[in-house]
Amino acid sequence: DGGITQSPKYLFRKEGQNVTLSCEQNLNHDAMYWYRQDPGQGLRLIYYSQIVNDFQKGDIAEGYSVSREKKESFPLTVTSAQKNPTAFYLCASSIDGLAGYEQYFGPGTRLTVT
């Protein structure tokens, strides 16, 4: 089955700790994205990557970091510098980022920081 997997589904952390969210896709898509969703809010773009070893900041990149060492994988690290990290994190992919293609989403990771 082709698709996007995210793990874990739920994650609980204490304030001050860094945490890494996993995103893997086997769709052979070039572009991958990380979004954050807060209650009553639209999706906001954190980072995106069009090709391996390249990524760009989105609208709310502060306090987050990413890497893209393999085409299939785009992990997101939420650092202690992120002021309000509790949110629903969504990873998406598209065939490429160079045209307005559809994006497909993984199941999401719900992060709670206390």
Task: Report the residue from 43, 61, 70, 78 that binds another protein according to the rule CB under 8 A.
Answer: 43
DSSP 70: B
Tokens of 6: 């995210």
Q: Of 15-23, 37-45, 65-73, 79-87, which part binds another protein (CB under 8 A)? A: 37-45
Amino acid at 45: L
* C-beta separation of 90 from 5 below 8 A: no
Told to check if 16 binds another protein by CB under 8 A, we report no
Task: Report the residue from 45, 52, 60, 95 that binds another protein according to the rule CB under 8 A.
Answer: 45
Task: Report the residue from 12, 70, 107, 112 that binds another protein according to the rule CB under 8 A.
Answer: 107
**Which residues are paired to 70 by β-bridges?**
73
